[in-house]
Structure 1
């Protein structure tokens, strides 16, 4: 089931996220987050933007949310998306279900532009975004440094 995030989801969300912090370049965060960090993130983001989880048998298998793209008021109709799926659940269409719900909610709230920022390479995330109609609009070379290697970041855009 897909539902709105709750503060008590923080530990499961941080566990999903920290796997990627420790083991991959999907996120360029370098230090794992605490449960408290995610409680604050949930409280801050969910008051203004959609923040949803995919839950099955009382276990959260993925989450997605929209957040501020930039803080200047001229960007108020643009949001940036974040999505993470529990590593053991990749390939089960959870991301597709979460994005379908999230994008529908954003459209109903009259957002105009949706941005997805991806550390590259990331074929699964590129495919997810492009299947929803996102187009690659930017590619920044070697802007992130993790695991003793420089990484590129690309941005995909969807306009309603």
Structure 2
């Protein structure tokens, strides 16, 4: 894997576009996806997630500082000493995180925040994992998302497909 550069988003998606099952991504993910995701996130200066992701996914420990963007006033992961709760937009959070932690930022938010960033062309790299899961919720148009990047590579491990879409050729 190349060294991370800029703003990277990661998302696991079922074949039907679903991104959650019973409120989180565990029912969509596969063991291969989990291993790839956990290995990749260590190389960034910080991780940014939304409040819903913080409340439904396991973020009690992260390898780097965690920024939670939320309108709420209570930190949903108080057990994580590296978690920061910011009441700002996703784009403002990216700019503030660059100044506070460094330029390499990993977005681990849900489908709506990733879609917003893609529409604003704020994602340099998209790591999208496609699994055979069906019937979940929070759909994401993964085919259209991949088409917004000039470069895209794919590899498979078992039933899991890994896409790396990038603004730059790697």
- Confirm or deny a common fold (TM above 0.5): no
TM-score interval, smaller chain: 0.3 to 0.5
Structure with the larger strand share: 1
Higher helix share: 1
TM-score (norm 2): 0.36
Greater RCO, 1 or 2 (C-alpha within 8 Å, sep 6+)? 2
TM-score by length of 1: 0.38
